[in-house]
Structure 1
Amino acid sequence: MITIHLNKLAFFAHHGLHDEEAITGTNFEVTVSISFEPVAKITSIQHTINYVDVYKVIEKHMVHPVALLEMLAQNISEEIALLDDRIKNINIGINKIHPPVRNFIGQVGVTFQKAF
Structure 2
Amino acid sequence: MITVRLNNAEFFAYHGFYPEEQLIGGRYLIDITVTFEPQGELNDELPQTVDYQAIYTICKEEMATPRKLIETVAHAIMKRIKNGYPYITELDVILKKLNPPLGGTVAYSAVNVNYQAAKKSIGI
- Residues matched between the structures, number: 116
Aligned residue in 2 for 1:56: 57
Aligned residue in 1 for 2:40: 40
2:25 is aligned with 1:13: no
Point out where structure 2 has 5 or more consecutive residues left out of the alignment.
118-124
TM-score (norm 1): 0.94
Q: Tell me, in whole angstroms, the C-alpha distance in 2 between the residues paired with 1:114 and 1:16.
A: 24
Q: Which amino acid aligns with 1:24?
A: I
TM-score (norm 2): 0.89
Q: Tell me, in whole angstroms, the C-alpha distance in 2 between the residues paired with 1:105 and 1:94.
A: 15
SS at match of 1:101: coil
Point out where structure 1 has 5 or more consecutive residues left out of the alignment.
none
Aligned residue in 2 for 1:81: 82
Q: Tell me, in whole angstroms, the C-alpha distance in 1 between the residues paired with 2:75 and 2:64.
A: 15
Q: Tell me, in whole angstroms, the C-alpha distance in 2 between the residues paired with 1:97 and 1:23.
A: 16
Shift in Å, 1:82? 1.2
SS at match of 1:64: coil
Shift in Å, 1:41? 2.5
Identity rate, percent: 27
Any conservation in 1 of the 2:39–2:49 contact (CA below 8 Å)?
no
Q: Which amino acid aligns with 2:59?
A: I
- Pair member with larger Rg: 2
